[in-house]
Amino acid sequence: MHRDRPTIGIVYPDHAAEDDYPFAAELLGVNLPVAHIYGTDLHAVPELLDLGSPAKLAGGAAQFADEPLDALVWACTSGSFVYGPEGARTQVEQLSRDAGGVPTTSTSIAFVAALRALGVGRVAVSASYPRDVAELFVAFLADADVEVVSLADAGIDTAAEVGTLTDEAVLEFVRTNDHPDAQAVLVPDTAMHTLRIMRELGKETGKPVLTANQVTVWHGLELAGYTVECPELGSLFEEDTDHGAR
């Protein structure tokens, strides 16, 4: 049985948009402590493989050694999907062992869980990454039978640069890269500030918008057995969402 305020540990790479998490924690009345791990913040495959390596993630888990957790999330989309579906599952299994067996997920896995909870099978992807990295996310989704009807990439090389994007820049990027056949728009980078503009993103598109920091928080709470209605954080946190789907 979880405590009144569940604690979801967030293992976060470097520094970019981690202030999204205390914002969500205050809105939801939960604890979302952040542990940072470090590496180059390049959106490039070799660097991402290093960032999500077992040794790096073990260092993140170790920072929560004295903090009882209800769940743990590797809060990095590219640093999880770059390993492929099987590798991403292995990644979180190892991280769970490092954290003493608490339920564990990653942002990439959280995207798939969120799509299933919403019953969504066709999406548009608005990715900040260079094209080759963005295409790996498309492949990750395809393995879960999610059809990407359009892919836009901003070609931004570093997470730090993504973290400086203004709210209007994010809104414009998502607005212009929606697709009429998509049931939802996915925005897969935890370096991008999105949680303060989830309502605006939904209004711009007229459909669910799933962002990396949003699904990270949602799936961590779901694994902890905790659900809360908070429409300010988008469709995933609305009352009629089927939180029990996986």
> Same domain, yes or no, for 135 and 47?
no
Residue 184 pLDDT exceeds 70: yes
**Residue percentage of the chain with pLDDT more than 70:** 96
The one-letter amino acid at 202? G
Kindly state whether residues 14 and 93 are assigned to the same domain. Answer: yes
For 134-170, how does the pLDDT look when each residue is reduced to its tens digit (9 = 90+)? 999 999 999 999 999 999 999 998 888 999 999 999 9
80 within a domain of the structure (yes/no): yes
Per the prediction, the chain carries an average pLDDT of 93
Question: Which CATH number covers residue 202?
Answer: 3.40.50.12500
The answer to whether residue 242 is domain-embedded is: no
Burial of 47 (0-12, 13-18, 19+ CB in 10 A): middle
Closest to 141 measured CA to CA, from 111, 117, 162: 111
Residues 19 and 87 in one domain: yes
Do 54 and 136 lie in a common domain? no
Number of domains in the chain: 2
Query: Does the CA dihedral 200-198-125-180 come out positive or negative?
Result: negative
Q: Are 25 and 47 within one domain?
A: yes
CA–CA dist 43, 78 (Å, integer)? 8
**Structural contact between residues 11 and 75, judged by C-beta atoms closer than 8 angstroms:** yes
Indicate yes or no: pTM above 0.85. Answer: yes
Q: 102 is in which domain, residue-wise?
A: 8-110+213-237
Same domain, yes or no: 100 and 27:
yes
Claim to verify: residue 101 and residue 13 sit in the same structural domain: yes
Helices 212-223 + 20-28 axis angle, to 10: 50
Q: What is the mean pLDDT of residues 173-178?
A: 94
Please tell me the predicted confidence (pLDDT) of residue 246: 27
User: Is the pLDDT assigned to residue 235 strictly greater than 80?
Assistant: yes
Q: Residue 71 falls within a domain, yes or no? A: yes
Looking at the predicted structure, is the pLDDT value of residue 67 above 60?
Answer: yes
Given a contact cutoff of 8 angstroms between Cβ atoms, the answer to whether 36 and 61 are in contact is no
pLDDT at 191 over 80: yes
